[in-house]
Structure 1
Amino acid sequence: MMTLSALDQYLKQYTHEETQRLNGIKKDYSKFSLVKGKFDAPCYRFDTDLEDLRSLFLSKKVLPSYYNFAVVKQDRFENVPLHIHEWLELGYVYSGSCTMTINNNTFELKAGQMILISQNAPHSVKRCSKNDIIINFLLSREYLNGTFFERLSQENYLTHFFIEALNTTMQTSRYIIFSPEKQNRLADLANQFLCEFYSPSITSGPFLDSLFTLITCEMINLFQHDMVLDHSSVDQIYTILRYIETNSAHCTLSSTAEFFNMHPNYLSAYIRQHTGTTYKELVQTQRLSQAAKLLRSTALSTNDISLAVGYQNTSFFFQLFRKKYGCTPMEYRNRAHTSDTTHIN
């Protein structure tokens, strides 16, 4: 894997396209169609598919053959005009700064920040200097549907809640800026990803996949933190969801209401209002998710797991588990182990 100092040297090198810009050769955008609508400037549709991108950027060695998302170092020495595209774009400011306009909102991003831009959001980028290095992750719909949100939201309802809130924010503002403070784990993870990406090891595929999942998790953490700071109602529902997640094996509606000094009926209505589901469904989802995790990672018997997650009646636990996962707990464990063995081989 490439070292951080080697990565820094690599990213600061001029690409062929950047050398052309410095020599006065501008990029030709005439091949892209114009989007109809009321814009302050012509808006292009970048409709090149990922296969075309693989060929287009092959000389830069920025696209993997393993993924259905692209990693592109942005050309520094040109104004990127107003445009839209079908990919969801995650921009990472590796160094320097970047001035961007989205939906007529202009702002400056600084080193260490990331911005998530929704599909078909009109945006443009001003010309950068040689010290301004921006890396763009372009994520396809296939990647989004298969990994980006679904894998994380299956683990527990709390994560699902924040992913839904993140999606709602994206639909409204069309972008989200992530600004880590103090220790910037987001930048650390992104830099590790780029080191592996540009100098892949024998285990590059799963390594990159895991790192990008961690990047996604850290973005959710930062988004969650901002929501809690900005909205007291979200702060309250977040605290309640965290309590249920931690105490799902033993808590009841009455005990949870007592802990938060609420009437049980009020708590039940409050949870339904903010999550669209009932207290009972929340607890059940958390218990079954925890049971699935124990089946995957431990050798505990199904009876012991049933008791551990809060079900005294094993038959009832089996019934709920089959309804959620479409198989018995033992079948689920066997499938998980078979999958792990196949992956290793």
Structure 2
Amino acid sequence: MVEAIYNELKKITEEETHILNGGTEIEKNLYMTYKQSEVDATKLLDAGKLIQVRPHTRFIHFPAHTHNYIEVIYMYCGSTHHKIDGVSIELLQGELMFLNQKAVQEISPAGIDDIAVNFIVLPEFFDYALKMMGEEENLVRNFVIDCLRGEKESSSFLHFKVADILPIQNLVENLIWTIMNKQPNNRSINQVTMGLLFLQLMNHLDRVEINKTVEEQKLVLSVLRYVEEHYRDGELSELAQSLHYNLFWLSKEIKKRTGKTYIELIQEKRLSQAVYLLQHTKMSVMDIGMAVGYENLSYFHRIFQKKYGETPRKYRLRTHH
């Protein structure tokens, strides 16, 4: 933590003084113009600027609102409690959260030691960072593209739990320092720094939490479709590569979203297909085992008996019509 930044961010602002003196609601004229629930970039950004930082206003509840810009929140110290599109999130020290223009955000009152930094970012600021990220699809790149288009195809927020990732912490502090100190060439420096930050975040996709409502449905459908089509020989590593997800992260997400591991989903599909073949064909048990993806016949017998309580042959004799 850079002491100069901390000392600047912890200062009680004029707005916070008003709240401490009895103010019970946010001063909407400081944030909004026409739409009374949309925070307006023109209220927070100097003319011609693409990015700005400001400390989050403490001591007061911030009611549900959207932004006409991209907001990035960095928890400098302490914690803050948010509700994003109805999802409760606790942002802890060192964590980052990106919100697109469609995200509906509500914030609980923060204490004096809960210091969050809000980055107010116009979409075009991300142009250079997007070039740095290359062409390969991933969660971060898709989020940035949707922000640039003003769409909500992907998650409305990305919550990165990266407090222990030193390069990310350094890059965020560099960004804060450069913006606060208005040094020469700061636009180029800030755009490159943001690009480097995205590249680092892409290395830690196992640390991101997303809006489940959109991404969960897409992910579960993609996994189930892959299992349906590739249950004989489909590898999780191939699925991760085709979906452009980190292998470890995808493995955890499948278990979290379906309640089963990838292997369990594959086994379930193979065995249900074996049951169908036992009941509706005259294929031998060995051929059925091979057809559904088991080269080891004794293993096929073992897991079949474990699930159905009898061997494939006995199952066929009992159920075959």
Change (3 A) 1:224 1:170: farther
Q: Which residue of 1 aligns with 2:298?
A: none
Change (3 A) 1:134 1:212: same
- Whether 1:152 and 2:132 are equivalent positions in the alignment is yes
Which amino acid is 1:91 matched to? I
Given candidates 12, 15, 33, the residue that maps to 1:14 is 12
Q: Which residue of 1 aligns with 2:96?
A: 114
Change (3 A) 1:66 1:181: same
Change (3 A) 1:180 1:170: farther
Q: 1: distance between equivalents of 2:3 and 2:64?
A: 34
Deviation at 1:95, TM superposition (A): 0.6
Change (3 A) 1:202 1:34: closer
SS at match of 2:182: coil
SS at match of 1:213: helix
| Contact 1:92–1:115 (8 Å) recurs in 2 | yes
Q: 1: distance between equivalents of 2:155 and 2:138?
A: 19
Q: Which residue of 1 aligns with 2:182?
A: 200
- Whether 1:27 and 2:34 are equivalent positions in the alignment is no
Given candidates 19, 22, 44, the residue that maps to 2:37 is 44
| Identical-pair percentage | 18
1:278-322 CA distance string (max 9 Å, x none): xxxxxxxxxxxxxxxxxxxxxxxxxxxxxxxxxxxxxxxxxxxxx
Change (3 A) 1:98 1:88: same
Which amino acid is 1:118 matched to? N
Q: Which residue of 2 aligns with 1:95?
A: 77
Deviation at 1:72, TM superposition (A): 2.1
Deviation at 1:223, TM superposition (A): 2.3
Q: 1: distance between equivalents of 2:8 and 2:202?
A: 30
| Contact 2:50–2:121 (8 Å) recurs in 1 | yes
Given candidates 4, 12, 30, the residue that maps to 2:2 is 4
Q: 2: distance between equivalents of 1:83 and 1:241?
A: 32
Which amino acid is 1:210 matched to? V
Q: How does 1:84-233 map to 2 (within 5 A)?
A: 84-144=66-126, 146-149=127-130, 151-153=131-133, 155=134, 157-158=135-136, 160-163=137-140, 165-166=142-143, 171-180=153-162, 182-223=164-205
Q: Which residues of structure 1 form unaligned runs of 5+?
A: 36-42, 55-62, 243-345
Deviation at 1:121, TM superposition (A): 1.3
Deviation at 1:218, TM superposition (A): 1.9
Aligned pairs, how many? Answer: 215
Name the stretch that deviates more: 118-127 or 160-169: 160-169
Deviation at 1:140, TM superposition (A): 1.6
**What is the TM-score normalised by the length of structure 2?**
0.57
Change (3 A) 1:68 1:109: same
Change (3 A) 1:234 1:78: farther
Change (3 A) 1:162 1:84: closer
Change (3 A) 1:204 1:152: closer
| Contact 1:66–1:205 (8 Å) recurs in 2 | no
Change (3 A) 1:162 1:234: farther
Deviation at 1:177, TM superposition (A): 0.7
Flag the structure with larger Rg: 2
Change (3 A) 1:44 1:34: farther
Q: 1: distance between equivalents of 2:205 and 2:173?
A: 20
Q: Which residue of 2 aligns with 1:292?
A: none
| Contact 1:33–1:44 (8 Å) recurs in 2 | no
Deviation at 1:203, TM superposition (A): 4.2
Q: Which residues of structure 2 form unaligned runs of 5+?
A: 210-215, 224-234, 245-321
Deviation at 1:115, TM superposition (A): 0.8
Q: 1: distance between equivalents of 2:168 and 2:107?
A: 22
Q: How does 1:297-312 map to 2 (within 5 A)?
A: none
Deviation at 1:163, TM superposition (A): 4.5
**What is the TM-score normalised by the length of structure 1?**
0.53
| Contact 1:90–1:136 (8 Å) recurs in 2 | yes
Deviation at 1:235, TM superposition (A): 4.2
Change (3 A) 1:162 1:236: farther
Q: 2: distance between equivalents of 1:164 and 1:120?
A: 17
Change (3 A) 1:184 1:69: same
